[in-house]
Every structure is written in C-alpha cells, then in structure tokens.
Amino acid sequence: MKSEAIKLLLQHSFVRRGLLIFGTGLWAAQAPTASAIDYGIYDARALAMGGTVVAVGTTSQAAYYNPALLAFHDGDEDKTRDGRTYFPTMVAQAANTVDSAVSAAKDHLDTKLSKAVNAFNGQFNAANAGLVANTSRDLRSVLDKIANKDLTFDAFVGLSVSEPGDHEGGAFYLGVRAIGAGSSKVSQTDLALLDEYISAMDQIAGGATLAAVAAAHPTLVNANGQLIDPTTNLTSSADVSALAISEWGLALAKEFTFWGQAVSFGVTPKMMRVDAYRDNANFNNVANVSTDQFSNTKSTHMTFNADFGIAAIFFEHYRLSFAVKDAFAKDFTTKQVVDPITGLVGPDLVVKLHPRSRMGVGYVNDGFSLGLDYDLQPSTPIATEAPSQDLSLGAEYQLFDSLALRLGYRQDQTGLRGNVMSGGLGFHWRRFVADIAYSQSSDMKGGGLQLGWTF
C-alpha cells in the first residue's frame, strides 16, 4: 500500500475510510498483528464494561450479543416504557500504532525520500545530502514505532430498536462493522539499508566527499555515480485483510420455566452484506501500484447467518448465559488485480468469518450489576494474523436514577495483547438516554457513544 492511498479515503464513506486507513497504514507496518475477528463490541455500555455483556446485558443490547436477554423483562411493554431506540451507536477501537502508520502515510514519507534522492542527484551538496538523511531517518523512526507491534482497527456504527414484553421480546438493528487485520514481515535488509543511507548522507552533510562515501558504500551508488532511490529496493511486505460487514438483524426471545427457574431462548436471524478485501503488498511496488489497488481486491457477498443465545436466572439475581455469533461459518473470496511488476494476476485470497461462542455469568439487581464473560475458544483469524481469546469482567453501579457508573477489565488469554481497562457513564433524563465509554491498554485505545430515547 502506498501513502497516496490516503487521498482516496476522502472519497469514501466512514466504513470504507476506516478500512483503507488500516490498509494504507500497513505500507509502513512491518508488524505481526494479534487481532482476529473477536466476539465484538457494538455499543458504549459494553465497551465501558470490558465487553462483559452476554449475561449482564440489558434488553436494549440483547440483539447484538445474546438475544435470549430480551425475555428477561416483567410487565407490558406499553406500560413500562422500557423500549429503546438508539441512533447513532458508535464504537471504535484501534491499536496505538495505527496513528503512527496513518500519520506516516499522510506525510508521504516514501515520496519525500524519493524526491530527496532526486534533488541530491540533481545537485550534490551538503544540504541535499542532509535532506536524504533526514527523510531516511523519518522513515526508519516510523518502522521503529510500528515494528513487532499490533496494528488493528475495529469500528461499528448502527441503529437499534428494542421492545421487551412480558417475559418475551423483540428487537431490530442494522449496522456496519469495519475490521482490519494483517500480518507483515520485517525485512532486516530494509532496516540495514536505511541505516546505511542515514550514515552515508550524514557524512556528506558533514563535509565528506561523494567519492569517499561512494567508495565506503558502493551499493548506494549506480554505475553513473548517482544515488540509488532506496524505495525501489525495499523488500518488506504485508498481507492485508479487511471486512465491512453490514447486518440487518431481527432478534426474538421467549422465557420458559423449568423446575422453578427462568430460562430464556433467543435467536437473531440476519442478512449480511460482506465486503471483503485482501491484498499482498510489497513496499518496493510503491511507485508502480495504483492508489486504489487495495480497494480493487474488494468482492461483495450477500449471505444469511444467525446468532443464538440461552440464559437462565437462578435465585432471582444470578444469571448464567451462553451465546454464539455467526453460527454458520463463511469464507469470502476476494479478487486480485494484475501485478504491475510481473503482469500476472495474483491468486484469489480468502477472508474467513467463523462462529464465536461465549459464556457469561452475572449478578443483576436494580442498582448493581457484575458480570464475567469468557470466549470458549480462540477466535478464527480472518487471514494469517494470530487469534485472540477474551476474559472480561464488568460492573455497573446505578448512582442515581438518572446516572450509571461503569468499569471494565479485559484480558486476552493468548497473551498477545495488553490488558484493557475501561470505564463509562450512562445518563437517563425523561425519555432521553445517552452512553459514553473509553478503553485503553498498553497497545490500544477505544471510545464509544450512543444516543437514544425510550418509548
């Protein structure tokens, strides 16, 4: 991916921009990622509580996480005013390195380095040599910030309407989740090459002659005595994958009683439009690849899927739940374009969307909720990146009738991501409701906002 692709982002919707920002960032990202398609966080309350929602989620959250929770409600829906309409619901999570990668792309570091080399070849002087050294140093600095760290992007925007009834309920939602993931190979040759350019150009900037430097660094100069553009010789590559998943879901739930205990069953059938992207990008193709090569790999798939959930209440306040998202495994094939160097069409690549199951336990009363969720197996990567498996703990305390305080903690059981701390607020005034959340770890940040009203 070359940095000029940033220009393309401004011509696309929010979701496409998110996908291509991630893909563009990988031109400089020589980093293995620890992200796969996890269970998902789709609203601010869940983000604030560390993603703990399968057992302690509200009826307004049920359609996203566990449809069975829709039936955990007493009273006629026309009297309780517990129905909720939320729009917009927005959540975004990104690795810290995404900012560095996007900034590098916006700064056009590859183009700046090429121009600096051309300027030096046009006029051999200390100032131009210093320019080559500094731009090489900038590029090297970005690699240091990003190398061997995660580079992930996950965002969701949606609308939902939920109406719980007397021990039953229904909900409708539509939304788009944008996920970026990839794995890249660090080329030690590239790093050594940039170091050599920095050293050689610093010498010329300090007063050394071109002939002396060329004798000490013969691989940097061609047969005509001109400095070779290093961006044409970089060998690092990235396998970039992304999904834009648009869903239209209808959740239904019904509560039954077994041996005096309330047990609810729920299902969310849904239609899905999946835009899949996957590309193998080589950095040394930067000058030859069109700005929309990554988007040209897009293939669109329409498919059906479903989420299932079961939840039980014990001793009035204790809950045990189990849910499965995207119960039917899907593989989406992307299309590949002609390689500008070889002239050959690359093989179609596959992006995977497989089931994710989660179990939750919780304690819920009118003023306090505490829950624990656990992914029952590692998530399936969408491409070649590493899996993840979350254990999350979340709590909510109703400070006043109109204000809720929330805290959360999330730990990846594979050990590939940092522990996440989170918090947030919920506000309810008359019929207006709002939720905000923030999460942070050593390698990621996230935020969430949703606005809605009761009916």
Single out the residue of 428, 296, 380 nearest to residue 39, CA to CA: 380
Q: How confident is the model at residue 281 (pLDDT cuts 50, 70, 90)?
A: low
46 φ/ψ sector (left φ>0, alpha ψ -120 to 50, else beta): alpha
- What sign does the dihedral 53-57-61-67 (CA atoms) show? positive
225 φ/ψ sector (left φ>0, alpha ψ -120 to 50, else beta): left
Q: CB of 77 within 8 A of CB of 163?
A: yes
Q: What is the pLDDT of residue 340?
A: 58
Q: What are the residue ranges of helices labelled H in 92-169?
A: 96-106, 109-122, 126-146
**What is the CATH T-level fold of the domain 3-454, as seen in this structure?**
Porin (2.40.160)
Residue 283 pLDDT > 70: no
Confidence of residue 6 (pLDDT cuts 50, 70, 90): very low
What is the structure's pLDDT at 139? 85
* 70 phi and psi angles, rounded to 5 deg: -60, -25
Answer whether the bond into residue 88 is a cis peptide, omega within 30°: yes
Mean of the per-residue pLDDT values for the chain? 84
The better pLDDT of the pair 131, 234 is held by: 131
Average pLDDT for 307-318: 96
- Domain boundary assignment for the chain: 3-454
What's the whole-number mean pLDDT along residues 227-247? 83
Provide the pLDDT for residue 101.
Answer: 65
The whole-number pLDDT of residue 292 equals 55
pLDDT at residue 15 tops 60: no
Q: Is 411 or 102 the better-scoring residue by pLDDT?
A: 411
Q: Which H helix or E strand runs over 250?
A: strand 237-258
Whole-number Å distance between alpha carbons of 116 and 130: 9
Q: From residue 341, how far is each of 24, 337, 450 by CA, in Å? A: 20, 12, 47
What are the contacts of 389-393 at 24+ separation with CB within 8 A? 389/413, 389/414, 390/38, 390/39, 390/51, 392/49, 392/50, 392/51, 392/52, 393/50, 393/52
Percent of the chain with pLDDT over 70: 80
Q: How many CB atoms lie within 10 A of CB 341?
A: 11
pLDDT of residue 333: 84
**Mean pLDDT to the nearest integer, 388-398:** 96
Q: Any idea which of 99-103, 228-232, 377-381 has the lowest mean pLDDT?
A: 99-103
Q: What is the pLDDT of residue 184?
A: 63
Residue 341: pLDDT band by 50, 70, 90 thresholds?
Answer: low
- Determine which of 49-58, 331-340, 366-375, 422-431 has the lowest per-residue pLDDT on average: 331-340
